[in-house]
Amino acid sequence: MKLYFNDLFNRIKQASILKKIFFVFIFLVEVFILFICFFKVNVEVLTPGTLHNPITPIEIENGNDRGYIAAIGIFTYKKVSLVQYWLSKANESFNVVDIDEEYYITTKEETTQGKIMKDNSLAIALINAYREASKVDSNITIDEEAAYLGESVIAIYSFSDTSLEYGDIIYEINDYKFSSRNELIELIREGLKEGKNVRFKVKRGEKDVDCYANLVTTSDDKKTYAFSFDSNFSLPVTSPTYTYKANYSSIGPSGGLLATLAIYNTLLAEDITKGYKITGTGTINIDGSSGRIGGLEQKLYTANLYKVDIFFLDAADYDEYYDFYKTNNFSFELVRIEKFTDILDYLSNLEAKNGN
């Protein structure tokens, strides 16, 4: 190798001025190409994705498998190369977002987070779907005592000072057993206001563990405990029964609303979709209300690519993105909802699609 470079150097040395200039030019071009391909930019890129079955992990006893109900998944690429960044900025259906290093979590941590939130979301979807289906068919029952287990830890940021781990289920704070997410949030706010560190009891696997979270300061001088959590409920006891398998075709909570609809449609004899291709996005809460999600522009683009008929969207997201929907002349009907039963009301008043 050393002989090769010595020979190359001698050839260049003996070459004409024109050839030397040409070599330098080619060398600089190659360095530039390598630089833009390997230099990472501190952004994440969101792109349109795919539609998928929102209840792949759930199999309902004697369930009716029909109707087109799909959740939307988009693609996210973190810390892309410079050339990928330029190409993404030039594509109107892509969204480029700066990464906040302070709250950055790794891809592995994000996958763990997504699986935890998916499990929590599907438990809540089952509760809501069976609850509403039992009002239509008396043979469908649900044990309404599905327990609130606490709050699952879904993110621990790099600057935190805590013994919590991903997946821990917090059920007690400072020797007080809280009974709802809102109650825990209020207790944490009080701790922040008073400048107190906090102690937790958590369920870690089969063990009960004592943990702590100390106050830390962000770069903009805000006090925080530097972790995030998500509500965890036990799976309900139902008839007909169901099997739950953790085989993830998607992760995260944003398919909760559509998962609830898909389970509901599987339980009942009548196909509530009436021949329409239905999608949408939004979380589902224990009281049946919907919640906001991210990546909305890319999800609307994805729905349009798949030529769906109806897109259900949480009211707050609808109000924010309606102008975007109209500006792009998407072919589907965008429907504003605040709770799961709004979807049922809308579909029950809909005429069946031609041929159905």
Structural domain boundaries, residue 194: 148-233
Give the pLDDT score at 34: 85
* Structural domain contains residue 342: no
Other residues' Cβ atoms within 10 Å of the Cβ of residue 355 = 5
- The CATH number assigned to the domain holding 199 equals 2.30.42.10
CB 135 within 8 A of CB 148: no
Residue scoring higher pLDDT (221 or 8): 221
pLDDT cut 70: percent of the chain above it? 94
Q: Rounding to the nearest 10 degrees, give the CA dihedral for residues 178, 179, 180, 185.
A: -10
Buried b (16+ CB within 10 A) or exposed e, 61-92: eebeeebbbbbbbbebbbebbeebbeebeeee
Residue 199 lies in a domain: yes
In a domain, 89, yes or no: no
- Chain segment 124-138, per-residue pLDDT in tens: 999 999 999 999 999
Is there a domain that residue 335 lies in? no
Question: Pairing state of beta strands 310-314 and 277-281?
Answer: parallel
Please tell me the predicted confidence (pLDDT) of residue 226. 92
* 221 assigned to some structural domain: yes
Q: Tell whether 180 is covered by a domain.
A: yes
pLDDT at res. 218: 87
Residue 7, pLDDT score: 61
How many domains does one find in the chain? 1
Q: Tell me the average pLDDT across 70-89.
A: 91
Q: What is the pLDDT of residue 106?
A: 87
Helix axes 107-133, 340-348, angle to 10 degrees: 50
pLDDT tens readout for residues 136-157: 999 999 987 778 999 999 999 9
Residue 11 in domain: no
Average pLDDT, the chain: 90
pLDDT in tens, 256-283: 999 999 999 999 988 999 999 999 999 9
Question: Quick check: 81 pLDDT over 70?
Answer: yes
Across the range 89-100, mean pLDDT stands at: 91
Average pLDDT value for residue range 16-27: 73
pLDDT of residue 284: 95
Domain-embedded: residue 1: no
Report the predicted TM-score, pTM, of the whole model to 2 decimal places: 0.87
- Which pLDDT band, with edges at 50, 70 and 90, does 9 fall under? low
Label residue 305 by pLDDT band (50, 70, 90). very high
Q: Which of 106, 103, 109, 142 is nearest to 126 (CA)?
A: 142
